[in-house]
Chain A
Amino acid sequence: MNAIEVRDLVKDYGPFRAVKGISFEVREGEVFGLIGPNGAGKTTTLRVLATLLRVSSGSVHVFGKDLRKEPHEVRKIISYLPEDAGAYKNLTGREYLEFIARFFSTGKAADEMIRKGVEMASLEDRIDDRVDTYSKGMTRRLLVSRALMTDPKLTILDELTSGLDVINAQEIRRTVKDISERGTTVLLSSHNMLEVELMCDRIALINDGRIVELGTPSELKSKHGASNIEEVFTRVVTA
């Protein structure tokens, strides 16, 4: 079974069409990257898949569940990390993880989920400090652990490491890679082409609301005679 099946997806914001009939599949356990210039429709696509925005037309299935008919069922098996997400500033890191865990589980199972989240966040003693005292990197680590501690079947990560330093970015990539190796399907978007090349099994290049290229990094590089994905990106977008 495919983790995601998108068919002729259209998303309109009033008179403006942001996504113009895209289709793609993401296989179970795969790390799939959506890349494209600003305003291409990446975030809109991710938000639709995360059940935040309604489908204007077309169909989306997540692990066989129809997104339009069963959004609540879809929410039980996914986690979504928006690009500029925040956490509740008046809570401590641990309290924030507890708050999220209680939506997915109760009792010992919830406690185990929180323990896992605390471990993934690697915030040491600072996990018991209020979120508003965290640096950007610490907040992002907390949010990534929040997104992954629930063992989602699919995790949707928008600009995973945007604005982070190299060390923090590497740690977060490693965490995501670990979870994907344990079977979680990952759909991510990024402007960092190196990150995409390093992490993704397959990539879809989206431009002006349409998918213009789709394949493995090596397939795309070979097709365009490029030495890296950044070159592929530049050639496709400026063509």
Chain B
Amino acid sequence: MSSLTNIVRKEFRELLTKSTIIPVILMALMFGYLGSMMGGIEEDVTAPPVIGLVDMDDGLMSDIAFDTLNESAVIVYEGTDLNAGLEAVDGAGGAALIYLPSNFTSDILAGARGHVEVYWLMKGAGMLDSISSTAVEILLNSVSYSISAYLVDESSDTAPAVVLSPLERSETTIFHDMEMTGVSPDLLVSILSSQSFAVPFIIMMIIIMAGGMVISSMGMEKENKTLETLLTLPVSRSSIVSGKLLASALVGLVMAGIYMIGFNYYMTSLEMSAEVDLAQYGLDLGPADYILVGASVFVSLVAALSMCMVLGTYAKNYKSAQTLTMPISLLAIIPMFLTMFKDFSTLPTVLQVLLFAIPFSHPMMAMKELMFGNYAMVIGGIAYVAAFAAVMVAISVWIFNTDRLLTGSVKGAGLARFLPRLKSR
């Protein structure tokens, strides 16, 4: 064996360990799942949109509109009752109800633009939740095109501007039982983008950075051989655990503040100026809501840090501590992506369970959920994460009270404890 091969073998053995491979496999699986989710969204885009049509006109132009819509959409309601139409579309999981008023045909034939009212039934405010509304937008463009074609064929006297763009539209978005007049799903998603994008990103950064600090602190204590001294000082194990958690939490919050300032500037430069004030629809946060958001962030941070403390007890040194941050990073990245792209309510059940189970998801979703009055979800999340954090702190203190912190796990220890019990039976 050559010297080079010898060194390569040694390096491989050192670098290719379970702790380096498992996170990569998990990451690959996560991307695989995200890929299949994206595939599902692609199917949503190519599938004909589900809509309803309230035709109060029943004239020539509304017939053209119906024929065009019928070619590319599944029309689950056609009639004259707006409420019945909305119920039918909602029941079928549809995206929109199109309302053609009684003067639709007469207006167009008189050279004016035909008015179309679109009632959007929005399911979620995630970036991918507005995909179905995009499909309906395409349909409406087709209707406009068909009417333009008719007007051209008939060589009508209509003004060219109206021939090219024969429809005018008003929009109402219905989301979480709220009717928002003049608001389209795209606009709503855009306005809520800071909740959809910035909050999950900042929470992820806090968790990864503060969590990394706790794990590294444990790794450093072991590498610098200071842990043994610390454990023989007259200080309770719970104080050691709490002290480390509290310091990391405070540093994490300071870092979060710095990130938030920078990120706020970034988002402000990207955001479109909001044409509507969502507060008029109750879509804003009051002082009590902010307290709940703060509580959610705090308990999640404690949960993350105490989880890191448990992981940190496995760190042999600073290098191994860096590897141990991977599971925490994954648990922070997964909910960040999920909450960025989809609302909790629009996710498949399996993902909903996964998202709820990951304690870091809750502060990422809290602001948006509170905006839409979903207090049960937020308070339930806080309770769950607080319980999770309490269990993790208890496990940390327990580990600090055992030999494991200094000796690591001993192969066969579990079996050795189990065998005498078997023999005694």
Contacts and interface: CB of A to CB of B under 8 A. Distances in A.
> A and B: partners?
yes
Nearest to A146: B229
B226 A87 contact: yes
A106 B412 CA distance: 46
Contacts of B225: 82, 84-86
Contacts of A54: 402-403
10 cross-chain pairs, A with B, having the tightest CB-CB distances, nearest first: A14-B413, A14-B410, A15-B416, A86-B225, A86-B224, A80-B232, A75-B234, A76-B234, A82-B228, A103-B233
A16 B416 CA distance: 9
Nearest to B403: A53
B235 A50 contact: no
A15 B228 contact: no
A14 B225 CA distance: 23
Contacts of B74: none
Interface residues of A, number: 30
A50 B232 contact: yes
Given A82-B225, A103-B234, A47 B413 contact: no
Contact of B406 (A52, A75, A103, A146): A52
A13 B229 contact: no
Contacts of A75: 232-235
B38 interface: no
A82 B406 CA distance: 12
Interface string A3-19: 00000000011111000
A219 B415 CA distance: 44
Interface in A22-50: 47, 50
B236 to A, nearest CB: 7
Interface of B: 224-226, 228-229, 231-236, 402-403, 406-407, 410-416
A52 B406 CA distance: 8
Contact of A14 (B224, B226, B228, B412): B412
Contacts of B414: 14
Interface string A49-66: 011111000000000000
25 contacts: A13-B410, A14-B410, A14-B411, A14-B413, A15-B413, A15-B416, A47-B228, A47-B406, A50-B232, A51-B231, A52-B231, A52-B403, A52-B406, A54-B402, A54-B403, A80-B232, A81-B229, A84-B225, A85-B225, A85-B226, A87-B226, A103-B234, A103-B235, A104-B234, A146-B229
- Which of A78, A82, A143: most chain B Cβ within 10 A? A82
A38 to B, nearest CB: 17
A80 B414 CA distance: 30
B407 A13 contact: yes
